[in-house]
Amino acid sequence: MERIDHNGLVWYAFAGPGRDSAPGGFRHACFTRLGGVSAGQWSTLNLGSTVGDDPRAVQENHRRIFDAFGIARAQVVSPHQVHGRNVVRVGVEAGGTVIPATDALITDAPGVALLLRFADCVPVLFYDPVRRAAGLAHAGWRGVAAGVVPATVQAMAAAFGSRPEDLWAGIGPAIGPQHYSVGVEVVEAIQAALPEGAQAATYREGRWMMDLPAALEAQLRAVGVTQVEQSGLCTASRVDEWYSHRAEEGRTGRFGVLVMLKSL
Q: What pLDDT is attached to residue 263?
A: 78
Residue 180's SS3 state is: coil
Tell me the domains of the chain and their CATH numbers.
Answer: 2-176+217-261 (3.60.140.10)
- Residue range 153-167, pLDDT digits in tens: 999 999 999 999 999
The Cα–Cα gap between 262 and 74 comes to: 16
- Residue range 87-143, pLDDT digits in tens: 999 999 999 999 999 999 999 999 999 999 999 999 999 999 999 999 999 999 999
Q: What pLDDT is attached to residue 18?
A: 56
**At a CB cut-off of 8 Å and minimum separation 6, what does 218 contact?**
194, 195, 198, 200
Query: To 5 degrees, how large is the angle CA 57–CA 30–CA 84?
Result: 90
Query: To 5 degrees, how large is the angle CA 17–CA 84–CA 185?
Result: 110
Handedness of CA 180, 185, 191, 192 (dihedral sign): negative
- Residue range 174-225, pLDDT digits in tens: 999 999 999 999 999 999 999 999 999 999 999 999 999 999 999 999 999 9
Average predicted confidence (pLDDT) for the chain: 96
The H or E element containing residue 104 is: strand 104-107
